[in-house]
Amino acid sequence: MSKIVLTFNAGSSSLKFAAFGADNGRLNHLAAGQVEGIGANPKGSVKRATGETTEFAFDRAAGKLDHHAATRVILHWLEQVGYASGIIAVGHRVVHGGPNLTEPMLIDEAALAILRKLIPLAPLHQPHNLAGIEAAIRAFPGKPQVACFDTAFHRSHPFVSDTFALPRAYYDEGVRRYGFHGLSYEYITSTLKKIAPQIVREDVIVAHLGNGASMCAIKNGRSIASTMGFTALDGLPMGTRCGQLDPGVLLYLMAEKKMTAEQISDLLYKESGLKGMSGISQDMRELEASDSPHARDAIDYFVARIRRELAGLAASVEGVEGIVFTGGIGENSSRIRKAVLSGMEWMGIVLDDEANDAGAQMISAKESRTVVFVIPTDEERMIAKHTIEIALDPRKHQ
């Protein structure tokens, strides 16, 4: 039986997973899927590398599904296809590692206690990540479980990229700019080392554009600055999240609209961004296909914020040698890429329109001083890579 590494990415109402063959320490993608509608009306499916897709069956009479039940559904499929007996380790995406967790860690009771203490820093994400971990521990007893943090890649930030202009005591308590999407940026950096090693040694800006969106300035493979801050709300507008916002707006909502913290949280996380501005959808594909002026306004604002952050991040690394687009929008929307880069010749950027329209890996023109890439991200593979390394040699991360 081949060795298999399983990865989990648990959200509030979903559980994504992927399976990788891990013979000889090399990773071979086997399958990926998810269960959605946890706590409501569940549905889910899995697609194998062969292209075969299987819809999951749910016992509607059993009531609402939780993360433990969702894990059992996934485990049942793994047993059916003969993968379950080969699982040697399970890796987990964990949103927040706080100020001190700078690399993946083997999960034990002490580690779980540390992760629970970080819940106040990510109350909408961390509890669900922990629920997924606890479900996996039950489902795969005795197998190494590894936590991989979205914040870890950004712990190399200099102080000025890490702080807010608040009294220093708040910084010391952990109120600081953490940055997120770190697993994606780590994967892109590792890919650049293979396809453009001369670029990754210089200054690179990566735009992870999707339902969640952020950008990161990377110097010699290390994160220097990120558009996301204390939470995953900051920076760029996203599918349903507001992005950068004057904190005075929050004071206004509390004082004048008498909104509670929960109401404000729902507004900023679930009803804003592309969805809120357009009044149509959070899906960029729908907005690009729409003739609504509100859809155009939402797209224009999204692009404007990316352009503004691109220039600011370039200043933080004193220039830029390479730009990478990734994430669902970054990888698939030639329109957004062109809008972001148009008129950026002053930054040494010249777009190759034909390559961009074709979705080529390199979309900058030959005369462009700044090289522009489109690289699909693979956070699951990054999690699996860390997991197999720790499973083979836990002493590296004790």
Which residue type, as a one-letter code, is found at position 312?
G
Query: Residue 397: pLDDT above 60?
Result: no
Instruction: Give the pLDDT confidence score for residue 2 in this predicted structure.
Output: 84
User: 62: pLDDT confidence band, cut at 50, 70 and 90?
Assistant: low
Query: Residue 313: pLDDT above 90?
Result: yes
Asked if 222 and 364 sit in the same domain, the reply is yes
Percent of the chain topping pLDDT 70: 97
Catalytic residue among 23, 66, 150, 378: 150
What's the domain count of the chain? Answer: 2
Higher-confidence residue of 398 and 213: namely 213
Contact 183, 299 (CB under 8 A): no
Domain annotation covers residue 394: no
Asked if 299 and 359 sit in the same domain, the reply is yes
Instruction: Give the pLDDT confidence score for residue 393 in this predicted structure.
Output: 73
Query: Residue 350: pLDDT above 70?
Result: yes
Least confident of 149-163, 187-201, 273-287, 383-397: 383-397
Asked if 216 and 125 sit in the same domain, the reply is no
Mean pLDDT over the full length of the chain: 94
Asked if 136 and 13 sit in the same domain, the reply is yes
Asked if 91 and 209 sit in the same domain, the reply is no
- Between the CA of residue 393 and those of 21, 105, 106, 397, what are the distances in Å? 18, 12, 11, 8
User: 326: pLDDT confidence band, cut at 50, 70 and 90?
Assistant: very high
Asked if 139 and 216 sit in the same domain, the reply is no
Asked if 215 and 363 sit in the same domain, the reply is yes
Query: What tokens appear for 30 in the block?
Result: 């086997």
Is residue 283 annotated as part of the catalytic site, yes or no?
no
343-350, long-range: CB < 8 A, 24+ apart? 344/307, 344/310, 347/310, 347/311, 347/314, 347/320, 348/320, 349/323
Predicted TM-score (pTM) above 0.85: yes
Which tens digit of pLDDT belongs to each residue from 232-259? Answer: 999 999 999 999 999 999 999 999 999 9
Which tens digit of pLDDT belongs to each residue from 9-51? Answer: 998 889 999 999 998 878 999 999 999 999 888 999 999 999 9
Output Rg (C-alpha) for the chain, integer angstroms. Answer: 21
Asked if 206 and 138 sit in the same domain, the reply is no
**Domain boundaries, position 282:** 197-374
